[in-house]
Amino acid sequence: MDKFDKLTGVGAPLPMINIDTDMIIPKQFLKTIERTGLGKHLFDEMRFNQDGSEKEDFVLNKPAYRNAEILVAGENFGCGSSREHAPWALKDFGIRCVIATSFADIFYNNCFKNGILPIALPQEDVDKLMDDAERGANATITVDLEKQEISGPDGGTIKFDLDPFKRHCLLEGLDDIGLSLEKKDNIDTFEAKQADTKPWL
């Protein structure tokens, strides 16, 4: 998993509440178990018309936000079904950080396992960042995970709280497999002992 340390990029404003996982990646695209290739279907029904043409008024189709790496959204982001394809699609598109007032629990935890930083902030802070994001590509936002702060284009900073263990995993690029491999020496020792004392297993 990619490490997350400090990110400076364009923030795309998506001032909607209750953005569910079916809006993020519709059910017809869940046939794959690959983590790549889903970015082109991110927010499919909001981004595209039925003939496949882009909806010009959707934020990620606007020139200023096509390369956005940060998403600023409303409350209860990632609600609905527990599909892990949702963070896969965001990451494949290029979104590394989502800022909102609240998140659905399963989506929130899935983000950390896929190298995405979800940040929950009070409404007034989200409103300020939403305003910053609405300025377009010339107003970048910096997210510093080490310092746990967000810097806007005007130089102001917003602090955010994060579980220390989740922070450690993102900084070190550790998903569940990576965490297990940190104990590789202990695992190897156990397996060698098992093979020696219980060769029939």
**Is residue 78 domain-resident?**
yes
Residue with tokens 């002992």: 193
b (16+ CB within 10 A) / e for 150-174: bbbeeeeebebebeeebbebbeeeb
**Is residue 45 domain-resident?**
yes
Per the structure, the count of domains in the chain is 1
Q: For 122-175, what is each residue's pLDDT tens digit?
A: 999 999 999 999 998 888 999 999 999 999 998 899 999 999 999 999 999 987
**Is residue 12 domain-resident?**
yes
**Is residue 33 domain-resident?**
yes
pLDDT at 34: 84
Query: For residue 166, what is the domain's CATH number?
Result: 3.20.19.10
**Is residue 1 domain-resident?**
no
**Is residue 193 domain-resident?**
no
**Is residue 187 domain-resident?**
no
**Is residue 110 domain-resident?**
yes
Domain that holds residue 139: 6-174
pLDDT at 150: 98
Number of helices (H), then strands (E), in the chain: 8, 7
Query: Which stretches of the chain drop beneath a pLDDT of 50?
Result: none
pLDDT at 128: 96
Report d(CA 38, CA 121) in Å as an integer. Answer: 28
pLDDT at 112: 96
Report d(CA 135, CA 87) in Å as an integer. Answer: 26
pLDDT at 195: 74
